[in-house]
Chain A
């Protein structure tokens, strides 16, 4: 009976051998794939096992981490003044993932970034817990507060403020907003809060980052671009010679007259006067005289037709091609298909203020390891030069006239030179909907430096139609943002 016994022993040995091979297959060959599978909850548990790094504004953290009350995720994200900073931070939620800065700099914030590998290994050897790094932003807390509170008084809208000399984003506000703290966890409450924030449940769409992701018709603020195109392409060479503009002016190829708002001195007006009173006829004719190609070329120089990465993505602003001359005329006064993000219009103002050089907008100053060593520093970068510096100075003097004695007087600041442009953009079928109130501006100090350029758009559904004008609704917000920046520079 012993021969079959030995065979059975071999059979049992084969059974165990099969198990050993299978175990090696699972725990050695497939181990990485299984361990990093996103459905494997351990990946998320590990991610929330240490406090997340912070996003920093003016040396203070605007985010935090707290220990979760229950569940297997140890730390949960918190936000200080969440709604105010949401367009900057985005959210980091256990249930719904991350977006914007929280998403783009996730590696640094969780400490998983390859650049932190050596440091993490060292920490592991010395027995320290892995810690996330920080993201230091370029934002200015006072300017952001001014922007957010200004918008809150007006209803819907967005504000972007830039440092024209570097492209650093100083304020990035959107209203209505949301508090990312309310959706940071994965409880039923977080789910309810999330559902309430969705556009389906909330027509105000509070999670929309209007400053970067919404394109509005820019209305008359686009005339700054048109004026720049006129100067750069040599259609007119200075601000104070009369343009050849009849009044009324019929758009080429049509029998339609382009209307001005009210009775303003637009007939053969100089560029300065035309900008001061926001003459549709003058700039419409400039646009159609230059033609689609030249207008588009200048618009592109200012950053139109391209997504911007701050590093958070901003939608591309629109200036169409292949348009009839009449459509080019309408587009050149910021109507028809023309649409711009608030960031785009702030870039227009900042390029003019920076003597024609457009700096690439950015909001991350530097990335730090948990011990505040700098891992990466953002250097200001020139994006393009839409204007020669001579033409830029001509345009500056025109925009300063707008604020000094034109439609933008509400933005005047004592002791500071302010240049700006108002806009009231009509939209909807037959312009039936409430127009958007725009204001773009920059401030210049006595020493010739230009610390801030700002774009404000207000979509105020409650306001009386007649009240909506860039000068009335948007300029005061721009003014307070500029003041906040100048104040903090002192």
Chain B
């Protein structure tokens, strides 16, 4: 049965529908590129810095290849109809991130200030853990609709994760933002996991309430205004975002959660008014908090005039950082084609050079061309996520897929925009590229869930069971 003969699926999906080939071999072919490209990049860094092919090339290449291979086999077995692009894209970004982290490990300056040195092997370990979680998701989450059952548990879980950094003795304040917790020597960013859990909660909640939220409204000046009591959920989420902003001084996470909720609310209700409300509320919230929170104010000042911030920092005035300006210089020095792997000086960014600011290393060493390619890779991931949402046959799957991909897109925008000086800097990291266990592991889980939804969406419907009534209701026309 092809899609042209099935009008009901024609509008919902351009991926094709029932009877689509599984595309697993396409995925395998792409995965080869996704592993080979970072391996060449790795060799390139070694040749540029030490004039020799790095000794770890084989083990690094095998490691990445093995992880990708296992991931692929699990997808082949447990999600055979899943989207063929997501796994290679994530592998490629993860591999390039590893190369950039290893490249910064070679910097004496960063080693001296304890910002790098052994980050790459750790990141490889985190990658392995991430892919392990990815596998766990694919094996144990047979159907994403199972998550629907945990809607309210997810809410509690997300709140718990978000509040963790505020627990005395557990939370850490690093460079002004309280978004880390410390467990057994590892720093964990619970916000990265909360992103997924919240998406599950929002999807489950909105699926149930969408009709009430969408239909019970009054029309005013061309907008459908929701009833007062329907405003409840958005007010709660808004308040939660504000609280994150105030207590954890984390503009990025706050913006991310609220943005994700507004996107999902809009998709669930198809009411543009929610977007208008959302924008208004986030503007009010951000401006309101920024007016009394010095950490946020300083971020905004640094964004408006990074050179002044640099000068103040150089003069030794406390509370100022030269990172923003250093990142801009890194991008500018890279120019159109970049200096080439290992030949830039992005270590001058010093703190968080291999995490929050890793995009600047790509900007300097791979140039405008490289960064545009990276941004397009991210755009492709988001595009595959949105297609998955379009193809999904159930509202919960649609909402979850769009929530996750929307959050992913927002995160890329907020981080890349911050590093490039487009918006104020926030304490988030580029998914897959940046050094950091929480981010890598959580994003692999995110890819796992998207694959599961897309597998469910593209899986051929089971052939209808023979209907025992069919015979009896058959109308025999006289001929």
Contacts and interface: CB of A to CB of B under 8 A. Distances in A.
A30 B332 contact: yes
* Interface hub of B12, B371, B383 (most chain A Cβ within 10 A): B371
Given A2-B12, A5-B386, A19-B416, A41 B345 contact: yes
B333 A22 contact: no
Contact of A19 (B108, B270, B334, B420): B420
Given A30-B332, A34-B329, A8 B266 contact: yes
Contacts of A23: 331, 363, 368, 371-372, 375, 420
Interface residues of A, number: 37
A486 interface: no
* Interface hub of B333, B335, B416, B417 (most chain A Cβ within 10 A): B333
Chain A interface mostly helix, strand, loop or mixed?
A: helix
B436 interface: no
B406 A8 contact: yes
Interface string A313-324: 000000000000
B335 A4 contact: no
Contacts of B46: none
A1 B375 contact: no
Contacts of A42: 329, 333, 345, 348
A463 interface: no
A189 interface: no
Interface in A1-57: 1-9, 11-13, 15-16, 18-20, 22-24, 26-28, 30-35, 37, 39-42, 45
A13 B379 contact: yes
A382 interface: no
Contact of B371 (A1, A15, A27, A45): A27
Given A16-B379, A72-B109, A8 B402 contact: yes
A411 B84 CA distance: 96
Nearest to B386: A9
Given A16-B375, A19-B413, 9 more contacts: A1-B270, A5-B402, A8-B406, A16-B378, A16-B412, A18-B417, A23-B363, A26-B332, A34-B331
Given A4-B267, A5-B267, A41-B345, A27 B334 contact: yes
B422 interface: yes
Interface in B305-324: 307, 310
B422 A22 contact: yes
A4 B333 contact: no
Contact of B375 (A5, A8, A20, A39): A20
Contact of A12 (B266, B325, B386): B386
B425 to A, nearest CB: 14
Nearest to A10: B386
Nearest to A3: B270
B407 to A, nearest CB: 11
A4 B331 contact: no
A471 to B, nearest CB: 56
Interface string B387-423: 0011000010010001001100110110011001110
Given A23-B371, A27-B363, A72-B345, A8 B386 contact: yes
Contacts of A12: 379, 382-383, 386, 405-406, 409
B272 to A, nearest CB: 9
A2 B371 contact: no
Given A5-B390, A16-B379, A27-B334, A22 B395 contact: no
Contacts of A2: 11-12, 390
A226 B368 CA distance: 70
B420 A33 contact: no
Contacts of B367: 27
Rank and list the top 4 A-B pairs by shortest CB-CB distance, nearest first.
A34-B332, A27-B368, A12-B409, A15-B413
Chain B interface mostly helix, strand, loop or mixed?
A: helix
Given A1-B270, A23-B420, A39-B310, A8 B263 contact: yes
A73 to B, nearest CB: 11
A464 B348 CA distance: 58
Nearest to B333: A35
Contacts of B413: 15-16, 18-19
Interface string B361-375: 001000110011001
A27 B336 contact: yes
Nearest to A35: B333
Contacts of A32: 332, 335
A41 B329 CA distance: 9
Contacts of B325: 39
Contacts of A70: 108
Contacts of B108: 70
A420 to B, nearest CB: 55
Interface of B: 11-12, 108-109, 263, 266-268, 270, 307, 310, 325, 328-329, 331-336, 345, 348, 363, 367-368, 371-372, 375-376, 378-379, 382-383, 386, 389-390, 395, 398, 402, 405-406, 409-410, 412-413, 416-417, 420-422
A45 B73 CA distance: 48
Contacts of A16: 375-376, 378-379, 382, 409, 412-413
Interface string A159-196: 00000000000000000000000000000000000000
Interface of A: 1-9, 11-13, 15-16, 18-20, 22-24, 26-28, 30-35, 37, 39-42, 45, 70, 72
A28 B368 contact: yes
B422 A27 contact: no
A7 B270 CA distance: 10
A2 B108 CA distance: 52
Given A4-B270, A31-B336, A41-B345, A20 B372 contact: yes
A237 B263 CA distance: 104
7 contacts: A1-B267, A5-B386, A16-B412, A19-B413, A20-B372, A24-B372, A26-B328
B335 A27 contact: yes
B101 to A, nearest CB: 20
B332 A19 contact: no
Contact of A26 (B310, B345, B409, B421): B421
B398 A1 contact: yes
B220 to A, nearest CB: 20
* Interface hub of B332, B345, B409, B417 (most chain A Cβ within 10 A): B332
Nearest to B401: A5
Nearest to B415: A19
Nearest to A34: B332
* Interface hub of A3, A23, A27, A31 (most chain B Cβ within 10 A): A27
A70 B412 CA distance: 37
B345 A27 contact: no
Given A16-B375, A27-B368, A8 B267 contact: yes
A431 B376 CA distance: 81
Nearest to B271: A4
Contact of B333 (A3, A9, A34): A34
B261 to A, nearest CB: 13
A37 B306 CA distance: 13
B420 A26 contact: yes
A167 to B, nearest CB: 44
Contacts of B328: 26, 34
B383 A9 contact: yes
A40 B420 contact: no
Nearest to B265: A4
A11 B382 CA distance: 11
Nearest to A70: B108
A31 to B, nearest CB: 4
Given A4-B270, A5-B389, A24 B368 contact: yes
A35 B332 contact: yes
Contacts of B375: 16, 19-20, 23
Contacts of B389: 5
Contacts of A41: 329, 345, 348
Given A5-B390, A16-B378, A31 B332 contact: yes
Nearest to A7: B266
Contacts of B390: 2, 5-6
* Interface hub of A2, A18, A23 (most chain B Cβ within 10 A): A23
A27 B417 contact: no
